[in-house]
Amino acid sequence: MDNGLQNCDLRVRLGDMTLRNPVIPASGTFGFGLEMKDVFDLNLLGGISLKGTTREARFGNPTPRIAECREGMINSVGLQNPGIEALVGEKAPALRAVYDGCIIANISGFSIEEYVDCCRRADACEAIDLLEINVSCPNVHGGGMAFGTDPNMAAEVTAAVKGVASKPVYIKLSPNVTDIVAMARACEEAGADGLVLINTLLGMRIDIRRRQPVLANKVGGFSGPAIFPLALRMVYQVAHACSIPVIGCGGVASAEDVIEMMMAGASAVEVGAENLRNPYACRDIIESLPKVMASLGIKDLNDLMI
């Protein structure tokens, strides 16, 4: 399986790191990576963002948790995960045994102290390369997005985590704000090494026959192709306002989308909901990139920002 990959340099710079290509499965859409190791060769991927992790194991929200939409989906999983000890003691080391690319720990919390504790432990795990701090989850109460809609609180989380982390710290931002640039600048000024945007938008579906919300949690995070133009706009604004790397995320479903995100200013790109529709999505996008690059006369994916 060549498809031009052997003769095409897809490497990108992400801060001080170099990824073999810009394509990263987004947190929550690829499990802990190991679930996919028999589906395709994980070492095709530029990085893997692991399932969001909290200090204690969480069962998540009641079911139903998924609502289908035109051009997307709404989820209200609620950070179901086995806890930080399972991440650093089992999941990340097991993935490292079969994957040699960038492993990203996605950390969530319900207090600054919890963020700090989880990040300290993730930072000490040799298998983890980068910390992605989720201050933008819309599916939990009392944490997540509560920190990501106030610039002062987002900055406080960023500074606290940076105080215990030696590895790069990227803050994942919520689109459910009035001014995404203010949020991004607050995190940058507090010491963030990079930013990830966007997380999901708040959405809802109603079952008109039962006259009830489809989701048990009533609302959840809307993702999929429908949000791509909004995500692209926010990536463009933030990349032009900040000097730290941006990982673009939101509705990415093709190699063309990856190129567009990078032209907007992203250094790398996460693929989310498309993985749930097509488990081979990331592989297919990576294999398509050389042909798309050739058609556009692109020889280097770095410095595409317009």
Among residues 256, 291, 262, the alpha carbon closest in space to that of 274 is found at: 256
Catalytic residue at 137?
A: yes
Pairing of the two strands 12-14 and 17-19:
antiparallel
User: Quick one: pLDDT at residue 1?
Assistant: 43
User: Quick one: pLDDT at residue 6?
Assistant: 53
Q: How far apart are CA 40 and CA 38, in angstroms?
A: 6
User: Quick one: pLDDT at residue 262?
Assistant: 98
Least confident of 131-145, 170-184, 225-239: 131-145
Domain covering 5-60+79-201+223-296, topology: TIM Barrel (3.20.20)
Task: Check 118, 119, 137, 282 and give the catalytic one.
Answer: 137
Rounded to 5 degrees, φ, ψ at 170 are: -115, 130
Q: How far apart are CA 145 and CA 148, in angstroms?
A: 5
User: Quick one: pLDDT at residue 241?
Assistant: 98
Q: Is the pLDDT confidence value at 29 over 60?
A: yes
Q: How far apart are CA 281 and CA 278, in angstroms?
A: 5
Q: Is the pLDDT confidence value at 130 over 60?
A: yes
Q: Is the pLDDT confidence value at 22 over 90?
A: yes
Say how many C-beta atoms besides its own lie within 10 A of residue 62's C-beta.
Answer: 11
Say how many C-beta atoms besides its own lie within 10 A of residue 275's C-beta.
Answer: 20
Model pTM above 0.85: yes
Q: What average pLDDT does this structure show over 193-204?
A: 96
User: Quick one: pLDDT at residue 140?
Assistant: 52
Q: What percent of the chain has pLDDT over 70?
A: 94
Q: Is the pLDDT confidence value at 103 over 60?
A: yes
